Amino acid sequence: MFNEVLWLIFLLLDLTIAVFIFKYFGKEGIFSLITLSVILCNIQVIKLVNLFGFTATLGNVLYGSIFFSTDILSEFYGKKEARKGVIIGFLALVITLIYMRLSLLFHPAPSDTAHPHLSAIFSFFPRIVMASIIAYLASQFHDVWAFHFWRGMTKGRFLWLRNNLSTMVSQFIDSLLFCLIAFWGLYSIKVWRDILLTTYFLKWVVAALDTPFIYLASYVHDRGKNFRFSFFLRKERA
C-alpha cells in the first residue's frame, strides 16, 4: 500500500499547489504550471510502478493535472486562453525534446558521468514521441471544446459536471490515441487492451479527485479577485 498512499499524497499535493498558484499568480501561473507539468510528466513516464495491482507509469498524476489546469483557464478566462495554454504546453514539450536531443549529440568529456543517464531518459523512440504529441494535442483541444460545450448546455451551472465529462472523455481519447500509435502491433491484443485500460483507470481517478479542487479554485477566484501575490511585493512606505 506504500505506493498507493504516496501516489494519492502526490496527487493531492499537486492539485493543492495548482490552486495556490492560481490564487496568487492567475492565468500566468497556470501557464507556467502547464509548462512544468508537461516537461516533468514526460520524464516521469519512463518510470514504472505498481499501483492498485497494476503496472503503471509514474507520469499520470502530472499529466492528469494538465487537464485540471486547462479547465481552470476555460472556467475563468475563456476558451481562447485555454487553447493558449494547450499550445504553450505543446511548445514546451517539443522544445524540450529538441534541446535535449541536441545536447546528447555533444561528445562527453572523459570525466563525465551524466551522459549515459541523460541518454537513457531523453533517447525516446520516434514512435513514442509522435504518440505523445498527437495524443496531447487531440485530447487537450477536445477538453477545451467539451468544457465549453457542457457549460453552454447547462447554462453555466453544474461545474462538477462539465469538469468531469470533459476531462474523463478527453483522458480516454488521450489514452486510446497514445496506446494505438505507441503500442499497437507490439503486443498481443489482450496485453494492449490491459495497458489501455490501466492507463485510463489511473487518469480517471485523477479526473474524479480533482473535482473538489475546481470548486476550491472557484472559491479563491471569487474571494481573491483583488488580492494577488503582488501584495507581498509592494514597496514599503517611505
pLDDT digits (tens, 9 = 90+) for 79-126: 999 999 999 999 998 998 889 889 999 999 999 999 998 888 887 666
Residue for grid cell 483507470: 201
| 194/197 Cα distance (integer angstroms) | 5
Domain 2-230 is in which class? mainly alpha
> How far is the CA of 104 from the CAs of 43, 86, 114, 179, in angstroms?
16, 27, 10, 27
Contact between 11 and 206 under an 8 Å Cβ cutoff? The reply is yes
Q: Does the pLDDT value for residue 233 go beyond 70?
A: no
pLDDT tens-digit map of 14-52: 999 999 999 999 999 999 999 999 999 888 877 888 888
Q: Does the pLDDT value for residue 3 go beyond 80?
A: yes
Q: Residue 238: what pLDDT?
A: 36
In three-state secondary structure terms, 110 is: coil
Contact between 56 and 196 under an 8 Å Cβ cutoff? The reply is no
Q: Residue 77: what pLDDT?
A: 95
The residue that leads in pLDDT, 231 or 167, is: 167
- 124's grid cell: 525516446
pTM of the model: 0.86
pLDDT tens-digit map of 184-208: 887 788 878 877 888 888 888 888 8
Q: Residue 225: what pLDDT?
A: 53
Contact between 85 and 31 under an 8 Å Cβ cutoff? The reply is yes
Domain boundaries, the chain: 2-230
Q: Work out the burial of residue 36: count CB atoms within 10 Å of its CB; fewer than 13 is exposed, 13-18 middle, 19 or more buried.
A: middle
Provide the mean pLDDT of the chain: 86
- What's the whole-number mean pLDDT along residues 56-73? 89
- 100's grid cell: 535535449
Q: What residues contact 34, with CB distance under 8 A and at least 6 apart?
A: 66, 69, 70, 85, 88, 89, 92
Alpha helices in the chain (DSSP H): 2-44, 60-77, 79-105, 115-122, 126-153, 159-183, 189-209, 211-223
Most confident option among 53-62, 72-81, 121-130, 177-186? 72-81
Q: Residue 231: what pLDDT?
A: 38
Q: Residue 126: what pLDDT?
A: 67
